[in-house]
Structure formats: structure tokens, C-alpha cells
């Protein structure tokens, strides 16, 4: 039995007995900084702990290792994310995730769907980000349907740029299937973003990143999406992708009900610092700070963060209350994805120098400690 707190901030005692959870009012102060609350949900995971969701050769046992590594860091459910590549490779990567769900019960339990990021993104430098220019293409409902078929109907989020030809038609088509359509890697104007939301878009993918380096002062893709009340925003609060002032603005404008923190992690997340060679990007260096750069440059080569980093930076750098930061990684993404409540829990120590996950429970059973 432990003294701790749920994310409403009230001290409680938690007792796990044969899978059954019992909560009672604590008769003593909670352990300093120890919190327990709904399990964390990451809507964008390209890879983790050396496992790459964009490698068609990734085997089910590798997905099981990735799932275990994520749960050890507080994530009870996540969306493997496949990004722009040639269409056969994208289809094969989606199919690999489906095979893992069929072969590994823990993977099936942790993966409620897949995130397709591309290939319908902006072809412009900056907005395109790390997506390979050779494989970026106009939006096409038939291509999407083929990829959805390869995914066994499990694509749950689709990120696209609303300004590419055919995008509005595809947004309506995918949204009509229950897919959460997100705007990302885009340089769309305000009218196009409004039209995309009218067509069914509901999310901004890693707002503030995947944009051109130089933007108009006021009328730009970040402010327009930030000011659109019908859009929930996802953001990478890892201390590298967004400066503290931007994190504070995003948190203040969207609030815990419309801001989702994501890791957008790549396969090197969770790995030791060092120099690595990636299939995309060549030699990269993972620093002790968690910053992943193209070796010898200051440029980011992806995210090596976890949701624990997001919670830590939201609290420390953006001034977000712990209970609100917790919502941004749990109930808010779960509601966005339409996930049922099943009693998943994450237990973490939230301290000034960071967040340390102490364990997770999935549907009443211990998953990681």
C-alpha cells in the first residue's frame, strides 16, 4: 500500500489486491511528488528503444520489446506512426504493425490503432520536415484506401497538409470512416485551414514543428491553428522542439482539454547517448541531454523524448499544474481517439528535476515497475 495522489490533487491511499484497485482517503500526507492517474497515451511513436515502426522488417517480438519499454516509461497505449516513403514500403510497415498485434497480446492491448503521417504533406522545404521529397504526393482517396487496407482498417490518425491537391476530399473521406484527421507538415493559409476543419479535420500534428523556418509575422500556419477552437493541438514538449515561451502560449491557449503532448519519438529514443547511423538522415548524435542532432550540426534529427519528458517540461517550463499536464498525456488524447476507459494507471514521481515513472498498470494488472 502506498500514499499518493490522483491528478485531482487530493491525497489518497492506493491498494492493489489481486488486480482490484481500492482508493481511500489518506490519513497522512501523500508522498512528496508521487502521483497516480490515468495511463498515458502517445498519439505519435515512430519508434522506441531501437525498434523502428517504419521498418517493414520489424518483427512482432521487436514490437513487444518496444511496448514493454514504453510502458516502463508510463505509456499504456500508443499509436505506431508510419511516415512518408514509397507506397509499398509504407504498406509493408503498416502490415508489420498489424502482424505484431495479431502475434503479441501485449502489443494488441497497447496499440489501439496506427498513425499515418504522410505521404500527403507539403512538398516545400521546411514544412516538409524530414519527409522524403521524392515520395511526397497529392492527396488521393484511393491511395489512402489501399494503405488502410494494408493496415487492416487500423489507421486511426491521418496527418496531411490541407493545401495539397485533393486534401479536402480526402479529409472528408477519412473523417467519414472515423479517422482523426490532423493537419501537419503544412504551410496552408487561414482560408485553407478553415476549409479543412469544415471538412472534418480535428487535430494539429506537432504544432510549431514541421513548418517553414520563416513565416509571416501574424498570418501564419501556427497562429491560425492555435486560434482555431475546433482544433486540438499535439505538441512536443521535450525542451528541444519548442522554447519555453511557446510552450507557455500553447498551454495557455489550448488548455488541458485541447492540448495533447506527444513524444513523436524515433527509434533512438530510450537508447544510450552516442553516435548512430540511421537509414534516414545518416549519422546522428544522441546527446546526454536527450537532444538528437545530425552529427556535427545543431539541427534536430527527430525526437528522442518520452511522455515523461513532456510532463516534466509542461510543469517546469510552461507553468502547467501537474494534474493538467497529466490530462494532456492521458484523458485528452484518449478522448480524442475515442478510447474506452479501462482502468489503466501510471504512477510517477514528479520532481523539479524531472519525472520518473514508478510503474504502470493495465486493466488492473501490473505492466511495468
Instruction: Provide the grid cell at 340.
Output: 474506452
* Coil/strand/helix, residue 93: helix
Q: Is 317 a catalytic site residue? A: no
3-state SS, 105-124, equals HHHHHHCCCEEEECCCCCCC
In terms of DSSP bridges, do strands 232-235 and 259-261 run parallel, antiparallel, or are they unpaired? parallel
Longest CA–CA span in the chain (Å) reads 62
Nearest of 171, 158, 48 to residue 107 by alpha carbon: 48
Catalytic hit among 109, 238, 264, 324 = 264
Half-sphere exposure of residue 71: CA atoms within 13 angstroms, side-chain side: 23
Handedness of CA 236, 106, 113, 321 (dihedral sign): negative
DSSP 113-153: -EEEE-SSS--STTTSTTS-GGG-----HHHHHHHHHHTTT
DSSP label of 340: P
| Residue 343 grid coordinates | 482502468
> Nearest Cα to 309, choosing from 352, 249, 354, 353?
354
DSSP string computed for 34-87: EEEEEPEEEEEESEETTEETT-TT--HHHHHHHHHHHHTTTEEEEEEEEESS-H
Q: Using omega within 30 degrees of 0 as the cis cutoff, is the peptide bond preceding 308 cis?
A: no
Residues with catalytic annotation? 264
Amino acid at each position: 500500500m502506498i500514499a499518493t495522489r490522483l491528478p485531482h490533487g487530493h491525497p489518497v491511499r492506493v491498494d492493489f489486491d489481486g488486480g482490484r484497485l481500492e482508493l481511500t482517503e489518506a490519513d497522512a500526507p501523500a508522498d512528496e511528488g508521487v502521483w497516480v492517474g490515468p495511463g498515458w497515451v502517445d498519439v505519435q511513436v515512430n519508434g522506441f528503444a531501437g525498434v523502428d515502426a517504419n521498418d517493414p522488417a520489424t518483427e512482432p517480438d521487436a514490437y513487444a520489446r518496444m511496448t514493454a519499454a514504453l510502458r516502463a516509461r508510463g505509456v499504456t497505449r500508443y499509436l505506431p506512426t508510419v511516415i512518408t516513403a514509397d507506397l509499398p514500403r509504407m504498406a509493408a510497415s503498416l502490415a508489420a504493425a498489424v502482424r505484431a498485434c495479431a502475434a503479441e497480446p501485449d502489443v494488441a492491448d497497447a496499440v489501439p490503432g496506427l498513425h499515418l503521417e504522410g505521404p500527403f504533406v507539403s512538398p516545400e522545404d521546411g514544412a516538409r520536415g524530414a519527409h522524403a521529397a521524392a515520395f511526397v504526393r497529392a492527396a488521393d482517396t484511393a491511395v489512402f484506401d489501399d494503405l488502410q487496407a494494408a493496415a487492416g482498417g487500423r489507421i486511426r490518425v491521418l496527418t496531411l497538409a490541407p493545401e495539397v491537391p485533393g486534401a479536402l476530399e480526402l479529409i472528408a473521406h477519412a473523417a467519414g470512416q472515423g479517422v482523426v484527421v490532423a493537419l501537419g507538415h503544412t504551410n496552408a493559409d487561414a482560408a485553407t485551414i478553415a476549409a479543412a476543419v469544415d471538412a472534418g479535420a480535428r487535430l494539429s500534428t506537432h504544432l510549431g514543428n514541421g513548418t517553414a523556418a520563416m513565416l509571416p509575422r501574424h498570418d501564419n500556419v501556427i497562429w491560425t491553428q492555435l486560434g482555431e477552437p475546433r482544433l486540438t493541438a499535439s505538441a512536443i514538449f521535450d525542451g528541444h522542439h519548442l522554447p519555453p515561451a511557446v510552450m507557455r502560449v500553447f498551454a495557455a491557449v489550448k488548455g488541458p482539454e485541447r492540448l495533447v503532448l506527444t513524444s513523436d519519438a524515433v527509434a533512438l529514443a530510450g537508447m544510450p547517448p552516442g553516435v548512430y547511423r540511421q537509414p534516414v538522415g545518416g549519422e546522428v548524435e544522441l546527446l546526454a541531454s536527450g537532444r538528437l542532432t545530425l552529427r556535427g550540426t545543431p539541427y534536430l534529427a527527430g525526437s528522442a523524448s518520452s511522455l515523461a519528458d513532456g510532463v516534466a517540461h509542461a510543469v517546469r517550463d510552461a507553468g502547467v499544474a501537474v494534474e493538467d499536464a497529466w490530462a494532456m498525456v492521458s484523458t485528452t488524447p484518449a478522448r480524442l481517439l475515442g478510447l474506452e476507459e479501462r482502468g489503466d494507471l501510471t504512477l510517477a514521481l514528479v520532481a523539479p528535476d524531472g519525472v520518473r515513472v514508478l510503474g504502470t498498470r493495465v486493466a488492473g494488472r501490473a505492466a511495468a515497475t
